[in-house]
Chains A and B, each alone.
Chain A
């Protein structure tokens, strides 16, 4: 889905804050989803052998 550039999650999430009031709503919703969807987090870390490089 992404173009060639290696994107960092923190740099994507912060934009919800930079975008202002409407973005803040997204940011909080994001946090809510993370809390209420533990399965999503488990799926992400269950990928064996795929290490994310240290920045």
Chain B
């Protein structure tokens, strides 16, 4: 009988704890948590929200399903949640993904307030994506509303969701590094200092940033418990909480990242591939994956998702990781339009992927520590990492070997226009080792090459290879 593994990020709320058992996602609730869940499951929005995929599928399971050792006295109710195929964090989402996740969150909160429920927090990490669909996963966040109180999660929502959106919508500043640098998000007073002068006239800034920051400073000495009581005595009500959330919802729906909005009209990127070569490449990828039963595939440097789509025909789930957030945002919008639940865009600098963060460096797992892929595509990628990124070929091959997955990799010769353009930014002769013979030798030392195909142009080669166990 295997042990129950507690989720490293689920320790703050005493009423509710997530744990894993044999691949299942379980949640244990105390008496308080169970009563809140009772109110949630009785609410009319609960079932439709799950059916429509906005709220993670949740069912009660018998407590007996859990091993004796952890059941103890604390848990009185157990739930099971649908498993998210691959979790990504807000600093790996594009603008439109964060915006859509925010809307799902706010709509659920509004529905909850209509059923005398609210949410304990407003954390961006309460959401995840299944393909292009945002899903609210923290069922433990719902609680019975206490009349006369404002939303306790508002500040967290500002810090981890609203402020990042405002930063990018109004200033065209990428929010991801801010969230990755400080998991708790951006503080009101900090952002207030960034938005000055006429910025304050922009949507949402005056109230949620400037005044919020001012209130934060002014009342920093006050006790929240007393403040709650005063607000209640002054007439704050659930209706006002609803009005607050509705106002935020209206604001978020208006926010746009202008560069992406204009790119959306024609997101087909120009490249130096001919149509024949695209077809050959697609066919190669198909042959490599056909009938292999690939469950999880990483398309590293997947750009506009062309080959993620090819791979998705032969894999259960595809994560398209790329460092171009504008391109990725375009991909997300297209996938959303199609209702795609199989391909997940992930904003990632492959030479600096998301590390482990949070409490004890375990709350937010590093990107490559979350799951082992069954297959990896590294197409039109290596020359960027080798030439612009200055990573030696031996390092790259070692890295790819370490992923422990079936590999489809493309080598672009230094004479190819794509590589040549990058080499032009460097002193001549600097990347003398960047040659096909060198790459093949390194590859064959660590991998078994299943198939090899050279493009008609003669400057690009595709390899299908499997890693050998011996290092």
Contacts and interface: CB of A to CB of B under 8 A. Distances in A.
B243 A10 contact: no
Nearest to B239: A22
B223 interface: yes
B13 A20 contact: no
B216 A34 contact: no
Interface residues of B, number: 51
A27 B208 CA distance: 15
Given A12-B231, A13-B219, A3 B143 contact: yes
Interface in B150-180: 150-156, 158
Contact of A14 (B14, B207, B240): B207
A24 to B, nearest CB: 10
Given A4-B13, A22-B243, A33 B230 contact: yes
A15 B228 contact: no
Interface in A1-31: 1-20, 22-23, 25-27, 29-30
B13 A11 contact: no
Nearest to A30: B234
B219 A2 contact: no
Contacts of B243: 19-20, 22-23
A26 B234 contact: yes
A55 B216 contact: yes
Residue with the greatest number of chain A CB neighbours at <10 A, chosen from B13, B223, B234: B234
By DSSP majority rule, is chain B's interface helix, strand, loop, or mixed? helix
A2 B228 CA distance: 9
A18 B187 CA distance: 18
B151 A15 contact: yes
Nearest to A37: B230
A29 B232 CA distance: 11
A4 B120 CA distance: 8
B221 A7 contact: no
A18 B247 CA distance: 7
A18 B154 CA distance: 11
A28 B244 CA distance: 17
A44 interface: yes
B181 interface: no
19 contacts: A3-B15, A4-B14, A5-B12, A7-B155, A8-B155, A9-B220, A10-B217, A12-B152, A13-B227, A18-B207, A19-B240, A19-B247, A20-B243, A26-B234, A30-B230, A33-B230, A44-B226, A55-B216, A55-B220
Interface of A: 1-20, 22-23, 25-27, 29-30, 33-34, 40, 44, 52, 54-55
Those 6 A-B pairs whose CB atoms lie nearest each other, nearest first: A10-B215, A10-B216, A11-B155, A9-B222, A3-B120, A9-B219
Interface of B: 12-15, 120-121, 143, 146, 149-156, 158, 187-188, 207-208, 211-212, 214-228, 230-231, 233-236, 239-241, 243-244, 247-248
